[in-house]
Structure formats: structure tokens, C-alpha cells
Amino acid sequence: MNLLDDWTASWLLWFPGSVSTFGAGQHDPAVLPFRLDAGRRAAVHVLLIEDDPSIADMYRMQLEHDGYRVSVASTGEVGFASVSGDGPDIVLLDLLLPDRSGFEVLRQINERLPGHPPVVILSNYGEPSMLDRGRSLGAVEYLVKSRVTPADVSGLIPSWIEQSRTEEHEDS
């Protein structure tokens, strides 16, 4: 059964302000990154759409350490292709990409891939208008990169996935 189909386009929104409970210890990274459904222990697949290699490498290091499978796309176009082709479980999306803005990528994902995996925006822009735009485009979370560590993000991934699944169940 393809998990992608189970996702719906509506997500519970979780935004800064409510994120006062950061900490890697909150979720057990050794257990949660593994999908237990269907009896297979497949690593959760994180797609990182990020053009800055130093940031991408750093996140890959942390996420792989925590047991995730990580793929990195350095442009919006490759990113979109990976979302539709590789079927990641969650997408971490940068906004400043060499070929287009992350918002455009997100809009494209919304339009062409109904039931796509949850998308979390990771950006260096923290303007309220940007947050609003991210929210209106259905991002599960909008984080300012300099305010969080890879461990924070890694620790939150299971809850984002959980959250979108709960949404989906409530919907159906």
C-alpha cells in the first residue's frame, strides 16, 4: 500500500510561538524514525531541498545519524522531481533556491501532487509575511534555520509525520 495516497492535502498547522518545547529528547530517535507499519522496518525518507551544501551536509549528517534515509536536492526543479518520483515521507524545503523560490516549489507540489508528504519550510527569512505565506500554502511548519539545530529538526520529524497522519485519519 502506497503511503502517499493516504495523505490528504490538509495539515494541522504548527507554527513558531507554539514551538516552545524544542528538544531532541522529546522523541526517541532510535525508534520513531522507523516505520513500523506493514511489518517492515524501512527508514523514514527525508527529502532535503537545500542549495547550500554546508547546511545540506550538516543536516544529512544529523539525520542519517538518527536513522533517517536522506536525499538532497539542490534546486527547486530537482526537488519537485524527487517529491513526485522518490516518494519521500517528509520534505524539508529551503526558500532561497537557485532556480525558483521555495514557495513556488510548494505551490507546484500542492497543485500537481495531491496527497503529497508533509512539507516543512526551513529558511533564513523570519519575516511575519513569509510565515503567513508559508502557512497559507499549507506548510506543516515554518522554521528559521538559525534558530534551530539539526537535532531539533530531527527530533520533530516524527511528530510532523504523525500530525499529518492524524489529520488524514480525522478527515476520512
Partner 1 sequence: MNLAATLVLDVTAAGFVALALAIAYRWYRDRGHAQGLLAISLIALGIVAALGRFQDQTHPNVVLSLVTIVAFIASAYLVLLFGNEFIPLGRRVRLAADVLLGVSILSSIVLVTVFQRGPQPVMTALGFEIVGAWAILIGLPIVRFWLASNSLPSVPKARLRFLSFGFAVLIAILVVDVVGGSALQSPGAIIITQLLALATVPLIYVSFAPPAILRRIWRMSEEKNVRAAMQDLLIFSPTRELMAERAVYWAVRLMGATAGFIVDADGKVMATSGIDAVEAAELRSSAGANPTGAAGSIVKAPLHLTEGEGSLAIIAGRFTPVFGTDEITQLNAYAVSVSAGLQRAAVTERMTALEKGKTQFLNLASHELRAPLTVIRGYVSMLKNGLFGDLNDRGHKASDVMEAKVSEMNELIEEMMDAARVEEGGLTLRLIECDLRDIVREAVDAASPQLDASHRIALDLPDRRIRVKVDPDRTRTIVTNLLTNALKYSPAGGEVRCQVRSSRSGVARVSVSDEGLGIARDDMATLFTRFGRIITPETEHLRGTGLVLFLSRQLARLQGGEIAVVSTPGAGSTFTLQLPVAGVAGPPLGTDRDGEWTTPHEDAVGDQRSAPMRR
Binding site for partner 1 (CB under 8 A): 17, 24, 52, 54-55, 58-59, 61-62, 65, 124-129, 144-147, 149-151
Q: Which is nearer to partner 1, 2 or 146 (CB)?
A: 146
Measured from the CB of residue 142, what is the shortest distance to partner 1 in angstroms? 14
Residue 43's φ and ψ, nearest 5 degrees, are: -65, 140
Which of residues 34 and 125 has its CB atom nearest to partner 1 in the complex?
125
Cell of 118: 508533509
E strand spans, 42-146: 42-43, 45-49, 69-73, 90-93, 119-123, 141-144
Residue 152 beta carbon to partner 1: minimum distance, rounded to whole angstroms: 8
With respect to partner 1, which residue has the nearer C-beta, 39 or 98? 98
Least distance to partner 1 from the beta carbon of 61, Å? Answer: 7
Instruction: Indicate the residue among 75 and 149 with the shorter CB distance to partner 1.
Output: 149
Name the minimum Å distance from CB 111 to partner 1. Answer: 28
Half-sphere exposure of 70 (CA within 13 A, CB side): 20
Report the sign of the C-alpha dihedral through residues 84, 86, 89, 95, in that order.
negative
Find the shortest distance in angstroms from Cβ 38 to partner 1. 30
Residue 17 vs 85, nearer CB to partner 1: 17
Q: Nearest to residue 118, comparing CAs of 8, 5, 36?
A: 8
- For 155-169, the three-class secondary structure string (H helix, E strand, C coil) is HHHHHHHHHHHHHHH
* Number of C-beta neighbours around residue 106 at 10 A: 26
